[in-house]
Structure 1
Amino acid sequence: MTTTPMPTSGVSLAGVASRTWNDVDVDPITLRVIGGALDSMAKEMAQVLYRMAYSSLIRESEDLGAGIFDVNGRELCESDSTPMHCGSIPAYIRGINRRLAGTYSPGDVILHNHPYHGAAHSPDYGIVIPIFWQGEHVGFAGCTGHVSDIGGNFPGLCMDVVDVWAEGKLMDSMKIYDAGIRNDMLIQHILDNVRTPEQNSGDLEALIACARIGEKRFLELLEKFGLDTVMSASERWMDYSERMLRARIREIPDGSYEAPIGYLDDDGKNRGVPLKVAVRVQVDGDEVLVDLTGSNDQVQTAFNVPFEGSVLPVAVSAIRTILLDEAVTEEYVPQNDGCFRPVKVYAPEGTIFNPNFPASCFARFSQVNRIFDSINLALAPVLPDHAVAGSSAALCAIAYSGLASDGESYWVYIEINEGSYGGRNGKDGMDAVDALMANTRNNPIEELELNHAMQALRYELRDESPAPGKWRGGIGSVRTWLMQTDTFLGSEADNRVDAPAGALGGADGVSGSFVRNVGTDSEEVLFSKVTQEIIRKGETLQIKLPSGGGFGDPFERDPFAVLSDVWDEYITEEEAARDYGVVVDTETWTVNHEATMKLRAGEPS
């Protein structure tokens, strides 16, 4: 591998500390106690948010993030929820600080969602509360959650929009509580400009409650140990995470590692024009640069990505996840600002990964998943024990909507469909799971059927066989809905025109699809990205998610594992012989080892 100079315009997500406290020694036991307290308070914040929220995307899928941050937005702790939400909150705080720094008061509550000032994208409401201790501003409690509607051109999700203002209502560092005084008129104005005022109101109150419990718990920690001890311990936790990640980076040979060029289906408007994703990972000592040079120019739809709020946290999460995977790391390494420091990202301005204002960047999750997937594939040759074969890497967010019975509002339901992981060294790919950056749960079909005029006809693993490999790829899900009323459909998915890649000899996975009225005379294949398509009453919609790639030579797969896959009807007896070189007797459910050895050796049977 050759090493090339790092671009000088690479950007790090790490903040810069400004101390208002004295550094003191912290003994190991106190350090672990404070570290555990930080971890538990972030988890409690998330629990409050998803238990109180009204919208199913937050309440059921847990599409949220929460944590405690210092005055510059450096992350002290985060919840075990969606990495994108947690990793973007430091950017939210930096965006808020640019306007409000020096004006904070106890009792302030700030609402923010501006994608060019730190937000992950505009539907992710961020609530930030400044924390004061003995009259001094010492940090923030912050959280984010994806709300059902923000009042843009179309309900729920939109693709074909002209600019960032058309996405919906933008809130840029707005104090909805000022020194404890609630601005009811401002909040009412916000709710009057969305289609789901009841859901948004409930979600907003849940976000506020989430941040307030974080503020309360952090103040309790300060009362017990004092500001100097808590902040000194936090610094040591962050430094420890940084040291651990840098040590793992140093184990990778210096060099420039490029992923195979990938392509997104289209931009949601210009059909048949795929978008290029180019990812290079450069390792230089104990630092990593993720270089997105060569990726597609920004597009005229919402299919662009906010750089600071989305691209940066994805790169950090990918490097941390690959190198500090809990399955292969004995030591506990907390997720905090220390993990951001060794990772830099560069994306040329005017590309889909660093668009110029005011380009819309409403729909960005399929693109960032491809960044993660490509980083993983780029490092697979030098990290075979850590990397994963290509995953679905295409978050399938779909919004169903219609006019509510009161005639004055809309019902909006946003679901996340489950793809799969690729195989990895020692493990088959996980089936029907939200892959890579999302970490969201599936929405129960009962929840939708109870509240909306839709019926689930099918929800299971798709029929196509998994990608062969020593460790097979995971299997994506298939879901079929019957519409019981005319329903608007909006989608920002990606079917993977280039199927998830196999790794180290494994086979490629399978692409996804959207099909209206499957199996009928009126069957119609839909695009993965749609803007307010109408699915009529009595029509069906089938959604298939991509299946992940295989890992390693399929002829090295354990014959008993192949037999089990035949037993589970994942593959057929013929596929076992053709793809894995394993001869299975389905009468006795045994492996013919002699015939298998000959087949794998290429000898005539």
Structure 2
Amino acid sequence: MTSTIESAGARNVAEGDAQHLIDLETIRYGLIEVARDMHQALMRSAFSPIVRDINDCTAAIHMRTENGWEMVASWEGCMQHAFTSQHICNFTMNEWDEEHLDDGDVILVNDPWRGAIHCADINILRPVRINGRAEFVLHSTSHVVDLGGPIPGGFANGVQTAFEEQLRFPPTLLYANDRPVKSAFNYLLENVRVPASVLGDVRALNGCLVIGERRLRELIGKYDPELVHKGAVYGIEMTEAAMRAGIREIPDGDYTAEDVIDEDGVTDESVPLVMTLKKRGDSIEVDYSGTGRQPLGNVGTAWCEATRCIEGIKFIVDPTSAVNSGTLRPIESILPPGSAVCSLPPSSVSNHVDIGGRIVNLVAQAMGKAMGDKAIGCDSGTLGMLTLGGVDDRPGHVGNPWASFALAGGGWGATWKGDGLTFCTLAIGNCRTSVQEHVERESPLVVVQHEIMPDSGGAGQHRGGNGAVYTITALSETAITVTGDRTRIGTPGTKGGGRGMPFYGWLIPDFDAKDPASLDVFDLRAAEPLFGMFDDKGVPTPDGGTFGLGTKYASAKVSGIVLKPGQAIRVIIGGGGGWGDPLARPTADVLDDVLDAMHTRGYSEKAYGVVFSDDTTIDEAATQARRAELAAAREAGQWSVPTACALEWRTA
């Protein structure tokens, strides 16, 4: 399909006067600045760390057009929200009775089947009326630390229906003419564990929209509604044109990728995921046919994968233009109803992150088949998130309920240009890891270890970014939910690159931060394995080990872990996949990685075929001979790139 938009608006402007073009450009960026101010106000005023520190939030502006409500501007937050935002607005406004809409009315919605990603992400929408008619809708969204249900935080691992999850709101009036609707607030706050935090976040979500409306009306007053409308459409068309130009560079064809979710948290059955990108001209169809049925556990998603896949495509074909509805226009999705990517109610869909992260992995793999040497390795493919909560026992805090999140961070895949990024969260989120000082001040927790995990990034001519090791101990009895995947097989590399390390977890019953052995990630003598691939000696063994051998759990999607004072939990998030043949990696780069503690000497010898003369020197002649031997063994099917994992574990 050939684009009919080489931006009609831009083309007409080019034939008109320069001042008109300047006005449209100013309005386009002015709308983005309004969204930026909304987002910054939200982060400055939010109470919970998941908004204020982790950045699991976003802000957007929607406008009424002939195509319905279209997103005309957003700002960098948790970007997966920006891609679903326009659909939430359409669901809500199509359902709302506009005849009774007044200035200052604010609507709350968090229903996954009305566009939200999961119930823990609450959406606040503020219609802006111009001459008595709603012409814009300002939208803020964030994850909240609790919204009721069986566990704090919203990842109800082990449940099977939405009735067992958090509070679910259809479009509900939250403010009427800028006054709180008492019944809505009472229902919300009396059904959550940490009402002060939730109330603070809701007020922040609404407050940023008040700021946004003031700024938007200033923009409209400076120009006029019709010109602002034209500027917004112009911005949409500019983004659409950029997306279509990037898509045109990809060869036409059908590109299929497959992956699996380990299990669903209820059964031990894996969940197959299949994606076929059908690229024609300047558009793409994303077809999920072949994906497994909706699971019994909570890992399925309502339908948000229709848009999250677009995020992965944009990273590759158009990483610089602004995100608005023009980003979505060139891409269509086919979601088989009743599948893992389009679960039907009343199934549980609270754990969206595992499939969400894997969807971007699938995009990377499918696009890699089209892009040849410019393929990229996958990121970690799991957040390995810890959701924590309880009642505080610390002096001065006794009896206070609390809740918190921990994102350890993983690694991104390598590219043809260089090594992958280390110590960052999944691409779907654009989020950050926790601010540990805030965690310790606001919660009865001590983060004793948060650092780069050696030997966690996939080997390659360019290695994958390394993941993280995260160890946390409790000062009060703490309930923990672990939400993770990639426990059986690490994230894949590309063009001959190796896999990243899988996800692992341990409980340390008698933790002593003053004891070096407690802080030594390679010392497993006092650690009890919770999940992962192990050999019969309890050593992490991704290649040839057995999942669940000697572990407490047969899943990394576990609720109800109780951490008592003096105990610690440790998780390791694997890194990204490697790019290219590791036997072609320059020996100087291998040595630098060993000296920088990104890789250990033992794993480097095994994966890169290097031979060390001593701890700081590589024997180049011996390395050349060794690499030739490994290349010949690989050709004969007797050697393959080992999955990233250290060799120097101590169990006795």
- What is the TM-score normalised by the length of structure 1? 0.89
Residues 208-255 of structure 1: per-residue CA shift (max 9 Å, x gap): 011122212111111111111111111111112111211221222211
Q: Select the residue among 366, 375, 378 that pairs with 1:378.
A: 366
Report matched runs for 1:280-291 at 5 Å: 280-291=276-287
Q: Which residue of 2 aligns with 1:133?
A: 130
Higher alpha-carbon deviation: 240-249 or 203-212: 240-249
- Partner-residue secondary structure (3-state), 1:74: strand
Q: Select the residue among 480, 493, 500 that pairs with 2:491.
A: 500
Report matched runs for 1:468-479 at 5 Å: 468-479=459-470
Give the conservation status (yes or no) of the 8 Å contact 2:456–2:500. Answer: no
Q: Which residue of 2 aligns with 1:20?
A: none
Q: Which residue of 1 aligns with 2:292?
A: 296
Give the conservation status (yes or no) of the 8 Å contact 1:249–1:286. Answer: yes
**CA–CA separation in structure 1 for the residues paired with 2:21 and 2:585:** 45
Q: Select the residue among 370, 380, 401 that pairs with 2:389.
A: 401
**CA–CA separation in structure 2 for the residues paired with 1:592 and 1:269:** 51
1:296 Cα deviation after fit: 1.9
**CA–CA separation in structure 2 for the residues paired with 1:418 and 1:298:** 28
Q: Select the residue among 350, 365, 377 that pairs with 1:362.
A: 350
Give the conservation status (yes or no) of the 8 Å contact 1:149–1:194. Answer: yes
Q: Which residue of 1 aligns with 2:148?
A: 151
Distance 1:162 1:468, change over 3 A: closer
Q: Which residue of 1 aligns with 2:43?
A: 50
Q: Select the residue among 70, 75, 80 that pairs with 1:79.
A: 75
Q: Which residue of 2 aligns with 1:68?
A: 61
Higher alpha-carbon deviation: 119-128 or 451-460: 451-460
**CA–CA separation in structure 1 for the residues paired with 2:374 and 2:133:** 44
Q: Select the residue among 243, 246, 249 that pairs with 1:245.
A: 243
Residues 319-378 of structure 1: per-residue CA shift (max 9 Å, x gap): 11111134xxxxxx2211111011111121111110111111111111111011011111
Q: Which residue of 2 aligns with 1:204?
A: 202
1:301 Cα deviation after fit: 2.5
Give the conservation status (yes or no) of the 8 Å contact 2:452–2:598. Answer: no
1:600 Cα deviation after fit: 4.6
Report matched runs for 1:516-595 at 5 Å: 516-517=507-508, 519-520=524-525, 523-526=528-531, 527-573=555-601, 575-583=603-611, 585-586=613-614, 589=616, 593=620, 595=622
Higher alpha-carbon deviation: 27-36 or 349-358: 27-36
**Corresponding position: 1:347 with 2:344:** no
Higher alpha-carbon deviation: 170-179 or 491-500: 491-500
Q: Select the residue among 206, 217, 220 that pairs with 1:219.
A: 217
Q: Which residue of 2 aligns with 1:183?
A: 181
Q: Which residue of 1 aligns with 2:427?
A: 436
1:318 Cα deviation after fit: 1.0
**CA–CA separation in structure 2 for the residues paired with 1:266 and 1:575:** 29
1:598 Cα deviation after fit: 4.9
Distance 1:498 1:223, change over 3 A: same
**CA–CA separation in structure 2 for the residues paired with 1:599 and 1:517:** 40
Give the conservation status (yes or no) of the 8 Å contact 1:449–1:455. Answer: yes
1:498 Cα deviation after fit: 2.5
**CA–CA separation in structure 1 for the residues paired with 2:148 and 2:364:** 37
Higher alpha-carbon deviation: 509-518 or 431-440: 509-518
Alpha-carbon RMSD: 2.3
Q: Give the letter aligned to residue 582 of structure 2.
A: P
Report matched runs for 1:421-432 at 5 Å: 421-432=412-423
Distance 1:83 1:91, change over 3 A: same
**CA–CA separation in structure 1 for the residues paired with 2:269 and 2:24:** 54
Give the conservation status (yes or no) of the 8 Å contact 2:582–2:607. Answer: yes
Give the conservation status (yes or no) of the 8 Å contact 2:392–2:444. Answer: no
**Corresponding position: 1:234 with 2:232:** yes
- Partner-residue secondary structure (3-state), 1:248: helix
Higher alpha-carbon deviation: 521-530 or 36-45: 521-530
**CA–CA separation in structure 1 for the residues paired with 2:281 and 2:124:** 38
**CA–CA separation in structure 2 for the residues paired with 1:575 and 1:401:** 38
Give the conservation status (yes or no) of the 8 Å contact 1:133–1:219. Answer: no
**CA–CA separation in structure 1 for the residues paired with 2:572 and 2:22:** 50
Q: Which residue of 1 aligns with 2:107?
A: 110
Residues 45-84 of structure 1: per-residue CA shift (max 9 Å, x gap): 1111111111110011010010111133311111111111
Q: How many residue pairs align between the two structures? A: 571
Give the conservation status (yes or no) of the 8 Å contact 2:35–2:60. Answer: yes
Distance 1:386 1:241, change over 3 A: farther
Give the conservation status (yes or no) of the 8 Å contact 1:495–1:513. Answer: no
Higher alpha-carbon deviation: 419-428 or 131-140: 131-140
Give the conservation status (yes or no) of the 8 Å contact 1:424–1:551. Answer: yes
Distance 1:598 1:530, change over 3 A: closer
**Corresponding position: 1:317 with 2:317:** no
1:314 Cα deviation after fit: 0.7
1:596 Cα deviation after fit: 4.8
Q: Give the letter aligned to residue 152 of structure 2.
A: P
Long gaps (5+) in structure 2: 2-15, 510-523, 532-554, 632-652
Give the conservation status (yes or no) of the 8 Å contact 1:164–1:360. Answer: yes
Distance 1:142 1:467, change over 3 A: same
**CA–CA separation in structure 2 for the residues paired with 1:115 and 1:576:** 45
- Partner-residue secondary structure (3-state), 2:407: strand
Distance 1:538 1:135, change over 3 A: same
1:477 Cα deviation after fit: 0.5
Residues 372-402 of structure 1: per-residue CA shift (max 9 Å, x gap): 1011111113224654202112122221111
Give the conservation status (yes or no) of the 8 Å contact 2:86–2:325. Answer: no
Q: Which residue of 1 aligns with 2:193?
A: 195
Structure 1 segments of 4 or more deviating over 6 A? 406-409
**CA–CA separation in structure 2 for the residues paired with 1:458 and 1:573:** 23
Distance 1:471 1:572, change over 3 A: same
**CA–CA separation in structure 1 for the residues paired with 2:508 and 2:360:** 34
- Partner-residue secondary structure (3-state), 2:236: helix
**Corresponding position: 1:487 with 2:484:** no
Q: Which residue of 1 aligns with 2:95?
A: 99
Distance 1:535 1:91, change over 3 A: same
- What is the TM-score normalised by the length of structure 2? 0.83
1:137 Cα deviation after fit: 1.7
- Partner-residue secondary structure (3-state), 2:569: strand
**CA–CA separation in structure 1 for the residues paired with 2:461 and 2:21:** 43
Give the conservation status (yes or no) of the 8 Å contact 2:126–2:139. Answer: yes
Distance 1:47 1:349, change over 3 A: same
1:558 Cα deviation after fit: 2.8
- Partner-residue secondary structure (3-state), 2:411: coil
**CA–CA separation in structure 1 for the residues paired with 2:176 and 2:76:** 30
Q: Give the letter aligned to residue 241 of structure 1.
A: T
Percent identity of paired positions between Structure 1 and Structure 2: 26
Residues 278-333 of structure 1: per-residue CA shift (max 9 Å, x gap): 111111222111111122211223222120xx21221111111111134xxxxxx2
Distance 1:32 1:194, change over 3 A: same
- Partner-residue secondary structure (3-state), 1:106: coil
1:181 Cα deviation after fit: 3.6
Distance 1:545 1:102, change over 3 A: same
1:538 Cα deviation after fit: 2.2
Give the conservation status (yes or no) of the 8 Å contact 1:140–1:215. Answer: no
1:404 Cα deviation after fit: 4.5
- Partner-residue secondary structure (3-state), 1:27: helix
Give the conservation status (yes or no) of the 8 Å contact 1:573–1:583. Answer: no
1:452 Cα deviation after fit: 2.0
- Partner-residue secondary structure (3-state), 1:348: coil
